[in-house]
Copies of this chain bind each other. A is one copy, B any other.
């Protein structure tokens, strides 16, 4: 079988396609399953891993990418959770089943465990999550990281109610999923972007108001304005150091800030001025993807509403390094997906 391996850090030339000569892997343990991967997708974390900026060091030679989806083609003798023919993904934190993550649960595919950029993946049956029936393989491959992160940001803290306002920042994959999910929750959505064209696409996706953060550097105040002075009830904080000050200013008195990014490219951290806090009792909650149960709850909502993830482009397996470059440079609007196999 063919698989990419992360053989050197610092550039896409470190991602090398190898064929191990074997037709396909077998279940390694009684509880293993073998998945024929149909599609995989990229996240910012995959570039951070490649450029050694990810908090958890990757295992050299590891198969990249956390996100993918495929069909179960073989199962170990003790497997009970899945069957041959099931359509599955691997959870981002495969050992984190429910409740709170602990240090012993941090293993991740595409980092410390082999990931999905391969024709086959061997998973423990506990790691597998069934994907919604109505999704194509390419769509199903987009969910494990960005979508679960957005879902956790919206549903993992104090409950949002219909009529509450959610603020999303920019057009990265987490922000786009957050727009879609917030609408399922009955919320109003305010989004920021610096591009009028992307603003239109955000509105088409469900955003009720869009603010240009370049033209309006004090966009925190602008969010308050478009919410009649109330401010956003929840901010999906995908900017971190670059945006947190305005996010707090944009937030309602009891806003929740779901903080996804804690460091800037220049080494900066989180800074919030006393003035921003003057009208804020915001809670800042860290979000780091989510458990398998969170993934399953999200899938239930995705299925019930026939929600479709946004895909910016689909590339063939052979062009995986090109997909990395496109993700980094083009500012895609939607996920970058790699199709694997026929």
A257-292 vs B, Cβ < 8 Å mask (1 yes, 0 no): 000001110011111111111101111111010010
Which residue of chain B is the closest to A269 with respect to CB atoms? B273
Identical copies in the complex: 4
Given contacts A97-B97, A185-B186, is CB(A283)–CB(B281) below 8 Å?
A: no
With CB as the reference atom, state the residue of chain B lying closest to A293: B99
**From A159, which residue of chain B is reached at the shortest CB distance?**
B159
User: Would you call A186 and B304 a contact (CB within 8 A)?
Assistant: yes
Contact B155 A184 (CB under 8 A): no
**Which A residues between 29 and 46 are near B, CB-CB below 8 angstroms?**
29-30
**Given the complex of chains A and B, what is the CA–CA distance between A75 and B217 in angstroms?**
42
A301 interfacial contact with B, CB 8 Å: yes
Q: Given the complex, which residues of B lie within 8 Å of A164, measured CB to CB?
A: 300
Asked whether A162 is an interface residue with its Cβ less than 8 Å from the other chain, the reply is yes
Is the interface on chain A under 10, 10 to 19, 20 to 34, or 35 or more residues? 35 or more
**A10 close to B (CB within 8 Å):** no
Binds B, one of A58-66, A100-108, A137-145, A314-322: A100-108
Contact of A269 (CB < 8 Å), options: B99, B254, B272: B272
CA distance A233 to B82 in the complex (A): 24
Docked Cα-Cα span, A302 to B162, in Å, equals: 8
Complex: A101 Cα to B252 Cα, angstroms: 12
In the complex, residue of chain B having the shortest beta-carbon distance to the beta carbon of A158: B159
Known interface pairs A159-B155, A184-B162, A186-B304; A281-B272 also in contact (CB < 8 Å): no
A269/B263 in contact, CB under 8 A: no
Q: Is A52 an interface residue (CB 8 A)?
A: no
Q: A133 on the interface (CB 8 Å rule)?
A: no
Which positions 83-106 of chain A face chain B at CB distance < 8 Å? 97-104
In the complex, which residues of chain B have a beta carbon less than 8 angstroms from the beta carbon of A305? 162-163, 186
A81: chain B residues within 8 A (beta carbon): 104
Q: Taking the complex as formed, is A311 at the interface, i.e. its CB lies under 8 A from any CB of chain B?
A: no
Instruction: Report Cα–Cα, A291/B99, bound state, in Å.
Output: 10
- A23 close to chain B: CB less than 8 A: no
> A residues bordering B, Cβ < 8 Å?
29-30, 55, 80-81, 97-104, 155, 159, 161-164, 181, 184-186, 188, 241, 253-254, 262-264, 267-278, 280-286, 288, 291, 293, 297, 300-305
* Interface CB pairs A-B, < 8 A, 10: A55-B278, A101-B253, A101-B281, A161-B301, A186-B301, A268-B274, A269-B276, A270-B272, A277-B286, A283-B286
Having A100-B293, A270-B277, A280-B286, one finds 7 other A-B pairs with CB under 8 Å, namely: A99-B293, A101-B281, A102-B253, A155-B161, A161-B300, A269-B276, A283-B284
